[in-house]
Structure 1
Amino acid sequence: MTHARLYKDWHSIPPSARGCAAALGNFDGVHLGHAHLIRSVHAARPDLPRAVVTFEPHPRELFRPQDPPFRLTLSEERLAALEALGVEHVFEIPFDRAFSNLSAEQFVQDVLHDALGLLHVGCGPDFAFGHRRGGDINFLAERTQALDIGLTQVPALADAGGPFSSTRIRRLLQDGYPERAAEELGRPWFIRGEVQHGDKRGRLLGFPTANIALGRHLEPARGVYAVTIRLPGGHTRMGVANVGRRPTIDDGQESRLEVHLFDFEGDLYGQQLSVALHRLLRPEMRFASLDELKAQIALDALQARQLLAPAP
């Protein structure tokens, strides 16, 4: 597989990374529509290295910090997904106040042409850039032609429900359909994070859990999921997970991801896990007692094992 190189300082791009054909966008989720864009740009100039120009954080995080977390993929996850598509160079531009004040002209001239040395770019029809989103596809076409940069305008990939989009995938996850989100992503959606110390209540119930903060990830529908967990080193385990605030215990804490790994013993504190959500088994609910909760978790675990078991 191609190894993608990540560049976070657009002012100091090495000569070896110049002269690429780059897809432009935020690429949150790196879904099938994004894959279509990247492949279309590569098809237009297969002689050039594949690249992506993206931004971190997402502009919405800068301009609307009061909004709930919404990200499908964070920087490291996005890089891995782009690498799987054969991208060789990822120009991840820090999106801060100074950068947001660059005009559309400066973005094309100073960033795409002068700093990155791109020979070809591609984007969807709705790509907007520059201060107050002052640049659109028509402006980009005019300026890239003047700078002798090739341009591929890529129509959005769509199905019967409309164009594939990060917004549509977020809605599917918030409505409790991770399996449908996976179809549009081309892979299961997962939350990656560090295992933190909890109150050890799961252990007392007979189902020890690894606790992971949702952080900047989107919060999917609250409830219990059948999941697979990728451990450090690449091994994968099946399991069951709860997303929510634990109404039976009602500890007042923010929503979190609590994962029980099947047939696993070991200390995971401080380690990074990737938890893929496959199916929502039931919504979050309150139980009259811890004994009722324990009995339900046992049923949830059995259902998750059956759902995740390999086909004979």
Structure 2
Amino acid sequence: MRSFRSFSALPADAFQRPTVTSIGKFDGLHLGHQQIIQRLQQIAAEKNLESCVFTFTENPLAALRPADCPPAISSPEQRLELLAAAGVSATLIVDFTRELQQLTPRQFAEQVLVAGLNTKHVLVGADFRFGKGGAGDTTLLTELGEELGFVVEIVGDVEVGGGRVSSSRIRQLIIAGDVAQAKQLLGRPVTVRGMVVHGAARGRELGFPTANLEPKYEGLAPADGVYAGLARVLGETYRAAISVGGNPTFTPDAPSQIEVFLLDFHGNLYGESVEVEFLERLRGMTAFDNIDALLAQMHSDVAQVREIVTLAN
């Protein structure tokens, strides 16, 4: 997939071949987004267009109302990887700059869709807004398309479990620790990725050496607790018992962190990038009265992981 990280990085001849373009945040690339991408690919094949996504590095709320901006489900890099895996041909992912914020709906259509992306077909959701202050809606976009030479198509929602699939709904599930339900709406497991850094080595002393992820990991971690999942590192996949949170038994005031015990792994992972998939929540975080009680629970956690998780996951 070709990707461009700014308008200035976009060559004048980047889109000599006309495009079918979808516009959105695509946070998490959930089932609803995947339906849009499938339609994008279908139109590209039918009309001999290049499939293209226009999106933002961060949620526009981060620039407009930072206090109201929710945490991202996926990092920009994760989104680009997911879009590429879905078969999108090109992505323009840009910062929501002041210049972009000031574009009127007409200017956005003319400068971004027509001049920048050579768009002939646009896919958006029913609640799509664009232009300064969100002044433009799908009706205006359709009118501009008729004038400027592109077709506008509104893609319907996907419903699962009696509700609309949305990034907001998935985010709430993740924050609540319901990774199993979030997986159903994402179409894949909740995933974070980060570099392994040195920790207190307490797990190693107890016989359960863990990989501690750096605080600035990619993705959205679930609520504090212990989870069954998978860890992918150095080209291999391992069952994993994953702890999210502080250490209430030893250091109850310690900040939250992600610690991953890779079953059947022996080696050194410091400095390596680990991708962690959360499949099922086992329990909440608990302060134990003594080491023996803690060890008994850790052995039980690992046994549950072996039972729940197969490498086929």
TM-score after normalising by structure 2: 0.91
Aligned-pair distance for 1:300?
0.5
- Structure 2 residue aligned with 1:97: 98
- Structure 1 residue aligned with 2:50: 49
Kindly, what percent of the aligned residue pairs are identical?
Answer: 37
Specify the code of the residue in structure 2 equivalent to 1:106: Q
Aligned-pair distance for 1:98?
3.2
Aligned-pair distance for 1:131?
2.1
Deviation digits for residues 158-207 of structure 1 (CA, Å, limit 9, x no counterpart)? 23422211111112222222122112111111101111211111111111
- Structure 2 residue aligned with 1:200: 201
Cα gap change, 1:104 to 1:252, in 2 (>3 Å): farther
Deviation digits for residues 2-42 of structure 1 (CA, Å, limit 9, x no counterpart)? xx121112234232434211111000000110011122233
Aligned-pair distance for 1:132?
1.8
8 Å Cα contact 2:124-2:154 kept in structure 1: yes
Cα gap change, 1:185 to 1:10, in 2 (>3 Å): same
TM-score after normalising by structure 1: 0.92
Deviation digits for residues 131-161 of structure 1 (CA, Å, limit 9, x no counterpart)? 2222211111111221101221111122342
- Structure 1 residue aligned with 2:226: 224
Cα separation, 2, equivalents of 1:75 and 1:173: 18
8 Å Cα contact 1:17-1:89 kept in structure 2: no
Cα gap change, 1:298 to 1:64, in 2 (>3 Å): farther
Specify the code of the residue in structure 1 equivalent to 2:199: G
Specify the code of the residue in structure 2 equivalent to 1:162: G
Moved more, 214-223 or 131-140: 214-223
- Structure 1 residue aligned with 2:89: 88
Deviation digits for residues 43-64 of structure 1 (CA, Å, limit 9, x no counterpart)? 3342212111110112133334
Partner SS, residue 21 of structure 1 = strand
8 Å Cα contact 2:228-2:282 kept in structure 1: yes
Cα gap change, 1:160 to 1:293, in 2 (>3 Å): closer
Q: What stretches of structure 2 of length at least 5 have no aligned partner?
A: none
Deviation digits for residues 210-236 of structure 1 (CA, Å, limit 9, x no counterpart)? 11125463341210000101113x311
8 Å Cα contact 2:123-2:155 kept in structure 1: yes
Cα gap change, 1:254 to 1:98, in 2 (>3 Å): farther
- Structure 2 residue aligned with 1:246: 247
The runs of at least 4 consecutive aligned structure 1 residues that moved more than 6 Å come to: none
- Structure 2 residue aligned with 1:13: 10
Aligned residues: 307
Q: Is residue 35 of structure 1 aligned with residue 34 of structure 2?
A: yes
Aligned-pair distance for 1:69?
6.0
Matches of residues 1-312 of structure 1 in structure 2 within 5 Å? 4-14=1-11, 15-18=13-16, 19-46=18-45, 47-66=48-67, 70-212=71-213, 213=215, 215=217, 217-232=219-234, 234-250=235-251, 252-309=253-310
